[in-house]
Chain A
Amino acid sequence: MVVNGAAIEFKKVRKTYGNFVALESFSMNVAAGEFMTLLGPSGSGKTTALNSLAGFTDITSGDILIDGVSIARVPTEKRNIGMVFQNYSLFPHRNVLGNVAFPLEMRGVGRAEIRKRSLKALEIVRLGGLAERMPHELSGGQKQRVAFARAIVFEPRVLLMDEPLGALDLKLREAMQLEIKQYQQQIGCTVIYVTHDQGEALTLSDRLAVMDKGLIRQLGTPQDLYDRPNSRFVAEFIGLNNIIKISGSKHDGAIVDGLGVIRFPSEIQPSQGYLSVRPEHIRRTPTGGHPAIVRQAVFLGDAVRYVVETRNGAELTLAEPRSGENSSLDPGSEIAISFEENRLIHLPE
């Protein structure tokens, strides 16, 4: 079961409910076969974007194209899109096979063919033996797999996933992430995946769009967004980050609250905005650096996370791998810290 994914294009899509703007001039190109994630808090417009592609909501203005053809006026059932829902949405009165067969029945496929293809889809998600079970007899992970098999059985070129792992516990969620990624690479369809879990987004996506208040705040590869966030919102949403206000500049660096003059790896030193630095890019240093006191030490297994406070009141989080020679510190210890200069990021807003 291999398909060619379809390219998807959102063109200035706008959706309003009365005075509430759910989606504001939403434009995005998804390449054929790409795994694109829409990441954002609830109310950010990510589900609206997905629903307008699925055809559950009519867009106010703009256009949506699949392989260059507008689908804005095409009814949902004619869009030929596979979809996995957050609560599985399996049909409770149909058994597993009946659920998976549903899209094929709707397409008028012959009975023998339906059975063959449904069983094959169940093989892909390794549920071949449970075809006769009823949905209420399945575990959460099994239901999720049935929902996935049902969404791909008719070989759609576009697969939408709306927080498909939201109802599962952490361990199962992580296992299912790997499975989803594996199936997608195996099948080759284009996936648009909606989640509010940034870890999931980083793990799964080829590219991801961080959304807030109906707008895309930043779109790029997971590495782009982790290493080069363009705003405070993105920097805070993805991974742990230290974000400190910049209150001015001197010729040799920016004046950062609680830290003094910090030199950024750029030509022109910023005079306002924020300094952003990841915990793993702050070091303990034997000499020089910024004096600080350890306020909190959190043992993470492979690393220790310290919350430290500089002499001038800046609170920073730093992560230290446990493999080094450094012994762990108790709260109250006095240390000095320094930054990996080329990892310092200036956030304009």
Chain B
Amino acid sequence: MRAVLAVYFTVLVLFLILPLIFLVPISLTESQFLEFPPQTLSLRWYSAFFDDPTWINAALLSFRVGIGATFISLTVGTLAAIALVRAEFFGKTALTAIFIAPLILPTVILALALYIVFLRFRLVDNVLALTAAHSVVAIPYVVMLVSGSLRRFDITLERAARVLGASPIKAFMLVTLPYLVPSMFAASILAFFASFDELIITLFVSGGAQTLPVRIWNDLGLKIDPTVPAVAVMLTLLSVSGMGIGELIRRRNERRYNTITSAEV
């Protein structure tokens, strides 16, 4: 039984990461084509990326939109999470569903709906509107992570701050918010990458402006050269380091707060 599980586990993990691992040697090829294994190694396609202004502009646009969408979704999502966890009001369940919906709804449908609205209000080919559209898909991550963290928060900490002299807002800012920071950070990483690799909505509403995924997509339609795997490898490194930092923050927080949960038992 153990052997079967071990085989299953190995196959599953390989299935998950093998495609990513293949990208690394492919991106390091000297050749014009995607070849595996590469005959000679070089960083040629990495410099190709940095030498081509269309790639650089696409990356910069993606960063701009991604960072903007992260800020919007973090603010809106955190405020929403506070209301959904702390307040009692009519239609709370429905509102929760609405906030999570973009995660479940087929993106094509969402993209189409946004496209129709954007056409009506002349928002196609507008970077701010694109950023707002991206934050729609990013908000669910923030709402889910922050409200989960807020539910685990020991409310007596906030009470302690209140009785010791803090107004409700001060108590929240000084005591509750520090507890939420790791989940907000994790949520912002997810939100950023939700925007950064968003393709479908961007294709519908960007009106030809090229974000990095759109640039890759367009490239694949014309020709495939190893710049795409090189970009993919850099993106993977970026997201892995983002997740790493998030995990470090989460661990530090856990060390500080687990004393409370263990005392509750």
Contact = CB atoms under 8 A, between A and B. Distances in A.
Interface residues of B, number: 26
B178 interface: yes
Chain B binding surface SS class: helix
B156 A93 contact: no
Contact of B263 (A75, A82, A106, A167): A167
Given A76-B162, A93-B178, A134-B256, A87 B263 contact: yes
B165 A135 contact: no
B156 A136 contact: no
Nearest to B175: A91
Given A77-B167, A87-B263, A107-B165, A93 B256 contact: yes
Contact of A85 (B160, B171, B179): B160
B154 A89 contact: yes
Interface in A276-331: none
Contact of B260 (A83, A87, A102): A87
A140 B171 CA distance: 24
Contacts, number: 84
B161 A136 contact: no
A167 B165 CA distance: 25
Contacts of A150: 164
Contacts of A82: 163-164
B40 interface: no
A55 B161 contact: no
Nearest to B178: A93
Interface string B131-174: 00000000000000000000000101101111111110011001
A102 B164 contact: yes
Nearest to B163: A83
A92 interface: yes
A54 B165 contact: no
A106 to B, nearest CB: 3
A106 B159 contact: no
A106 B166 contact: yes
22 contacts: A76-B159, A77-B167, A79-B163, A80-B165, A83-B160, A87-B264, A91-B157, A92-B257, A92-B259, A93-B178, A93-B256, A102-B166, A106-B165, A106-B166, A134-B256, A135-B259, A136-B256, A136-B258, A136-B259, A140-B263, A151-B164, A154-B165
